[in-house]
Amino acid sequence: MHRHSRNPWLSHKQQARFLEMSREAGFDLYGFTSANISEADRQNLTEFAQKNQSNDLHWFNRYLNLRTHPSDILPGALSVLMLGTIYRHPDMDAALENAKARISRYAAGKDYHLVLRKKAAKLADAFFLEHSSQLPDLKYRVTTDSAPVPEKILARNAGLGWQGKNTNLIHPEKGSYFFLTAVFFNADLEIPALHEPVEEKQQNEYGVHRTHRANRAKGAHGPNKSYGEYRPSVEGSSDESNTGASETDSLFRPANVDRCGSCRQCLDACPTGALEPYRIEANRCLSYWTIEAREDMPPEIAQNTKHWVFGCDICQEVCPYNRGPKGRRQVTSEPDFFPRAAIKNWIQNPEDPAHSTVWEALSISSAVKRPGQERFRRNWQSGSKPD
Ligand code: B12
Ligand code: SF4
Ligand code: SF4
């Protein structure tokens, strides 16, 4: 692989080091891709924006140009390191089982915007400092649902997983209960861009094979294609009989290959009919109605909340990649995402959030803050189980 441009450039060795440092910093998934996305993805984003311009996702339209051209987020951005952080915790799984008012798992701990931006910036600073003599002009920008860039599409391109029929990004071993964070930077990548650190021998052995397969992988677009390699554990799989997944099938396939197969459990379980395969009608989704919407829920939504008062996890709960023994191994190692007592207790015994002590305990440094006290109370009134 020869260097053609005068841009700074990350060799395989440097990419492998950045990935190793990502793992050491506590990220669960990591991979590189181009900071640009394909025309097909741009069209899907534009269609989504058009459909949602007159509801409370109108903010999605405001910087559509950045969503469709994410490299504009940082002058000279050429590449992205995509990071995934599991937020699932068994204590929250247990608390949700008999909850009277349900809060999504992603809001059980500290607000992920606060935690992950800092954590990823620390990682990038450490890598760039270590390489400052070889790469003196590197600049970066971190986003985690904090800037208008298409994080799932970039993460799929970086080999972190595939976008399932429920539209979430899923990893065959790690499921879908993870956040995404992007580190954009102004350097090119030696291709194939790396997903996980692979030993030199394996790279040579599988390099051509991997390139060939990754070209066929749904979503491996863009000038710098991503060639993630997925090697499954040898442990038995859980409840995957209806999916496209089996242990042998998944051998040496990148994590961004679609493994939904003929499964349609998320589509059938969604209580409001918000999903069609690989596409969401956002203004039917409970997550939209309980977090984003200012107007009150229409009756057909309000009657089907299944007691979700902040977000909704149903289409992830039913997904075979989150269930069984495999699901139980998906546990966050980030202490900031361990579920807070205030959240676990409140979902069991949901007191009126109009009381400032109740609301403060729930919302301080928490994603629960987003809809505000009044709208959260509205959700509680219409959604929680009667005593
Ligand atoms: C807008 C938004 C929402 C909206 C819309 C959801 C959605 N699916 O897009 C609402 C408010 C409903 C929402 C809900 C949730 N969200 Co949200 N959300 C976002 C946000 C800000 C943008 C996502 C986006 O660009 N959507 C637009 C659509 C077009 O993008 P897309 O889904 O990638 O589109 C692809 C597919 O739909 C498909 N497609 C589209 N049309 C077609 C047609 C055909 C025929 C085919 C085959 C495919 C196809 O291709 C597109 C790519 O080309 C991101 C953060 C970010 N900046 O990226 C977080 C983000 C996606 N959300 C996240 C989370 C955690 C959630 C919830 C789980 C929270 C909850 N528990 O309530 C739910 C999940 C609901 C669901 N089933 O998707 C995480 C997802 C992590 C992951 N592992 O996937 C993100 C990445 C935030 C983060 N940084 O971690 N969210
Ligand atoms: S309402 Fe719930 S199950 Fe349906 S798409 Fe939204 S998050 Fe998934
Ligand atoms: S429930 Fe089935 S169809 Fe839906 S995302 Fe999971 S594997 Fe795919």
Give the pLDDT confidence of 37-46 residue by residue, as tens digits. Answer: 999 999 999 9
pLDDT in tens, 55-68: 999 999 999 999 99
Total-model pTM: 0.89
Residue type, 262: S
Which range marks the domain in which residue 294 is found? Answer: 9-383
Query: Across residues 221-227, what is the average pLDDT?
Result: 32
What's the chain's average pLDDT?
86
Report the C-alpha gap between 164 and 177 in whole angstroms: 13
Nearest CA to ligand 2 atom 6: 285
Name the residue with the closest Cα to ligand 3, atom 7.
Answer: 260
Percent of the chain at pLDDT > 90 equals: 76
Q: Whose CA is nearest to atom 47 of ligand 1?
A: 278
**Residue 61 included in any domain:** yes
DSSP summary character for residue 340: P
Nearest CA to ligand 3 atom 2: 263
Cβ of 165 closer than 6 Å to ligand 3, yes or no, is yes
Closest by CA to 259, choosing from 300, 319, 201, is 319
- Asked whether residue 2 is assigned to any structural domain, the reply reads no
**Do residues 105 and 313 touch, judged by C-beta distance below 8 A?**
yes
Q: What pLDDT is recorded for position 326?
A: 85
Q: How many domains are contained in the chain? A: 1
Pocket probe for ligand 2: among 48, 270, 307, 379, the residue whose CB has the most ligand atoms within 8 Å is 270
Domain assignment present for residue 1? The answer is: no
Q: What is the mean pLDDT of residues 215-219?
A: 32
* Helix, strand, coil abundance in the chain, percent, nearest 5: 40, 10, 45
* Residue 204, domain member (yes or no): yes
Is residue 3 one of the residues assigned to a domain? no
Ligand 3 centre to CA of 322 (Å) is: 10
Q: Is 319 in the pocket of ligand 2 (CB under 6 A)?
A: no
Q: Is residue 84 part of a domain?
A: yes
The predicted pLDDT at position 5 comes to 52
Backbone angles phi, psi at 318, to 5 degrees: -85, -10
**Neighbouring C-beta atoms of residue 251, cutoff 10 Å:** 10
Q: Can you give the pLDDT at residue 328?
A: 86
CA pair distance 358, 366, nearest whole angstrom: 13
- In this predicted model, what pLDDT tens digit does every residue of 336-367 receive, in sequence order? 999 999 999 999 999 999 999 999 999 999 99
For residue 9, give the H/E element and its range.
Answer: strand 9-10
Q: Answer whether residue 329 is part of any domain.
A: yes
Q: Where are the alpha helices (DSSP H) in 176-259?
A: 200-216
Pairing, β 102-103 against β 308-310 = parallel
For residue 164, is it within any domain?
A: yes
Instruction: Supply the pLDDT for residue 253.
Output: 61
Distance CA 231, CA 251 (A): 6
CA of 151 to the centre of ligand 1 (A): 8
pLDDT attached to residue 385 = 77
The residue whose CA has the least distance to atom 81 of ligand 1 is 179
